[in-house]
Amino acid sequence: MKRFWISILIMTSVWGQTSISIESLSWLTGSWEGQRSNGKILEEIWLPPRAGSITALVRLTDNKETDFVEIINIMEVNGTLELQLQLFYNVLLPSSEVPHRFELTDIKENFVSFKGVSKGAHRTLSYERPEKDVFFIRFQPEEGPPVEIELRSK
């Protein structure tokens, strides 16, 4: 029996097949805000991980109106993490029929990245919190240059 468990341990370490817990993203939790180059304000509020998921509400506004609201949900799926997001126009009409899907590509301390796997999704999307009050969102749209957004703790 001891050999069996040693074999399992070796196979897991060699193949890297360890399950990733949503708890490893607890550093996302908080309320973040930043001004975009066009003068608009982007806000993200991340709820703490619970029941296998972590969820955020995103809003982009200017002085007069809300451009969009977005819901992001990262969940545990088959031992890894999957991100889904749905963007809603100001009148709460979804921008697409189904949420955009992203698969995990990398996870480190205070960093996570995903690749878009559904039609219309960004090619890549990542989040990083290099300091207590600093939060970065980076993404590569389907077309155009990469985007980096710096947010601060509210």
12 found inside a domain: no
147 found inside a domain: yes
Q: How many domains does the chain have?
A: 1
| Predicted structure pTM score | 0.85
- pLDDT in the model for residue 91: 83
6 found inside a domain: no
DSSP string, 78-144: TTEEEEEEEEEETTS-BSSSS-EEEEEEEEETTEEEEEE-STT--SEEEEEEEETTEEEEEEE-SSS
2 found inside a domain: no
Q: What CATH number does the domain containing 111 carry?
A: 2.40.128.20
- pLDDT in the model for residue 16: 47
14 found inside a domain: no
For the chain, 154 residues long, give each residue's pLDDT as a single digit of tens. 544 433 443 334 334 446 799 999 999 999 999 999 889 999 999 999 999 999 999 999 998 999 999 999 999 999 999 999 999 998 888 998 999 999 999 999 999 999 999 999 999 999 999 999 999 999 999 999 999 999 999 8
- pLDDT in the model for residue 10: 36
- pLDDT in the model for residue 93: 86
Here the tokens at position 108 are 């480190």
* Distance separating the N- and C-terminal Cα atoms of the chain: 54
Range of the domain at 88: 19-153
71 found inside a domain: yes
